[in-house]
Structure 1
Amino acid sequence: MSNHQNLLGEQRRALIVDEVRRHGGVRVNELTRRLNVSDMTVRRDLDAPARQGLLEKVHGGAVPASEASTCEPGFEATSSLEPGAEEDIARVAAAMAVPGSAVALSGGTTTYALAHRLLDVADLTVVTNSVRVADAFHTAQRPGGAAEGRPGAPTVVLTGGVRTPSESLVGPVADQAIRSLRFDLLFLGVHGISVEAGLSAPSLAEAETNRRLVRSARRVVVVADHTKWGTVGLSSFARLDEVDTLVSDAGLPGGAREALAEYLPNLVVAGEAADPPEARA
């Protein structure tokens, strides 16, 4: 969608429904940019198709009807929706990685942004169940890549498994590989985070693989922009008190910060903290 500011309400709503069906979900802030209308207009435009059963409104956007907790938008559908926030989060999180350590990265657009930052950390062993994250490291080390010839290039291990719409690998094969490993630090992207449900995923298989990642890590750092707050997926896989640090962005509401502070040892708001927490072995 582009240059649609002069569209009538019915035309905008039809385009929104089409976007939801094609991409598996949309976010309000993305629609305001693409349609060049206000946040309030987009939310009103979502009301009619929601009443008609054409889509279902969720925190921050909409998904196909009856798929609110199980809908998993594809990687392209969620990439670049919060690019500034993701870059801020990636910059702060990368400072937590210790050269020579073993780190794990789950799937997601924020961990993908973080992967590019971790290229500057020497001698990492990186385990990931994300095809996109693994590609980021391998592409950078190819001839002409950003890290070509750089000393201390990371060793990257990609788990096997069944590919999800977000291009993560999940299921028994991934779970078995992760079960046998131990990480100094896990950078975990999430589908949703809330006080009631903790960390959640849109499928049982993805939840189980994430659960295995959490159990294999000495420290768990969740990297999640503010739009993930209040979203609840089909299956919870970790409590908030199992998280060592949450790195989010300045869009995180004050009420969310207060609620999270009761459960998390460390809440870091990228773009507001003068200095990121020092990396710890």
Structure 2
Amino acid sequence: MSDNQNLLAEQRRALILDEVRRRGGVRVNELTRRLRVSDMTIRRDLDALARLGVVEKVHGGAVPVAEASSYEPGFEVKSALELTAKEDIARAAAPMAAPGSAVALAGGTTAYVLAKQLVEVPDLTVVTNSVRVAEVFYGAQRSAPGGGSRPRPGAATVVLTGGVRTPSDTLVGPVADAAIRFLHFDVLFLGVHGISVEAGLSTPNLAEAETNRQFVRSARRVVVLADHTKWGTVGLSSFASLDQVDAMVTDAGLPERARVEIAEHLPELIVATAADGTADN
């Protein structure tokens, strides 16, 4: 299968998942007409989404999986969701990291995608509690001329906090909190499980909530990275209110009514467009 076919499948499954969540269920025959693909293709898409644990197959279609506010999917599951949106968000957010600045990347799959963009920004100091994010920067150093035995000029200085590892490969707990508490960042890039007017930023993991609070307190500028599916979602524990957020970067799938509501509560909303990396403010 070509890369283009893979991309089309990922986009199609994202559309199906949006439809399932919006309507509370879908039928195979409706999806075949709407997406103009075969019955077999839709059934394979539903099988893939069911394996990720985000839909439940029923006779003739699928329904959403009811998620408790304390449910936290693993990194691999989250990585497979809204991949195109995360890439658009990462391209729009990357220019916010100025060369030579100190940035923090809290754990999450969108921060992981952003890290791949930031490896080209010279002289960054990167503090992260994400094992996957740290691996992106270490991998870039190893692939540089010289085999990674000596950091390339301008390579990022990476500080990985200690802590207890969560299902999303994020390090949390007292060790991580202590490492972050006395640091100061020019900008924090923060992925979230959910964001809403009432609950602010939230996560299903109590220890991660406290670590995220430390990140927010230590940052001069807080930038939330959240695809359109995160708006209106509420996790078990809130860790920041919207008035603590300086900017939100999201994707073009965010409905207009949500954009208006967010703009009323945040100083800056950036809606990333397609793969050219441009954005609407």
Fold shared per TM-score above 0.5: yes
- Percentage identity across aligned positions? 64
Letter in 2 for 1:237: F
The offset of 1:80, in angstroms, is 2.9
**For each residue in 1:45-81, what CA deviation from the matched residue of structure 2 results, as whole angstroms up to 9, or x when unmatched?**
327xxxxxxx52xxxxxx3xxxx10111000001132
Cα pair distance change 1:175/1:187, threshold 3 Å = same
Cα pair distance change 1:276/1:94, threshold 3 Å = farther
Q: Which structure 2 residues correspond to residues 105-254 of structure 1 after superposition, within 5 A? A: 105-143=105-143, 150-254=152-256
Letter in 2 for 1:46: V
Question: Residue 104 in 1 paired to residue 104 in 2?
Answer: yes
Letter in 1 for 2:126: V
The offset of 1:202, in angstroms, is 0.5
Find the aligned partners of 1:83 and 1:205 in 2 and give their Cα distance: 26
Contact 2:271 2:279 in 1 (8 A): no
Structure 1 length-normalised TM? 0.77
- Residue 167 of structure 2 aligns to a residue in which SS? coil
Report the counterpart of residue 63 of structure 2 in structure 1.
46
Letter in 1 for 2:134: A
- Residue 221 of structure 2 aligns to a residue in which SS? strand
- Residue 98 of structure 1 aligns to a residue in which SS? coil
The offset of 1:276, in angstroms, is 7.3
Structure 2 length-normalised TM? 0.77
Contact 1:107 1:129 in 2 (8 A): yes
Structure 2: tracts of 5 or more residues without a match: 1-12, 14-36
Find the aligned partners of 2:270 and 2:108 in 1 and give their Cα distance: 19
Letter in 2 for 1:184: D
Runs of 4+ deviating beyond 3 Å: 2-7, 15-19, 147-150, 272-277
**For each residue in 1:217-265, what CA deviation from the matched residue of structure 2 results, as whole angstroms up to 9, or x when unmatched?**
0000001111111110000000111100000000011111111111100
Report the counterpart of residue 87 of structure 1 in structure 2.
87
Find the aligned partners of 1:71 and 1:101 in 2 and give their Cα distance: 35
Find the aligned partners of 1:171 and 1:94 in 2 and give their Cα distance: 28
The offset of 1:6, in angstroms, is 4.7
Find the aligned partners of 1:110 and 1:241 in 2 and give their Cα distance: 22
- Residue 187 of structure 1 aligns to a residue in which SS? strand
Size of the alignment, in residue pairs?
Answer: 240
Contact 2:273 2:279 in 1 (8 A): no
Find the aligned partners of 1:138 and 1:124 in 2 and give their Cα distance: 13
Contact 1:95 1:276 in 2 (8 A): no
Contact 2:252 2:273 in 1 (8 A): yes
Cα pair distance change 1:253/1:153, threshold 3 Å = same
Q: Give the superposed CA RMSD.
A: 3.2
Find the aligned partners of 1:144 and 1:123 in 2 and give their Cα distance: 15
Structure 1: tracts of 5 or more residues without a match: 48-54, 57-62
Find the aligned partners of 1:75 and 1:275 in 2 and give their Cα distance: 27
- Residue 166 of structure 1 aligns to a residue in which SS? coil
Find the aligned partners of 1:155 and 1:16 in 2 and give their Cα distance: 38
Find the aligned partners of 2:139 and 2:70 in 1 and give their Cα distance: 32
The offset of 1:84, in angstroms, is 1.4
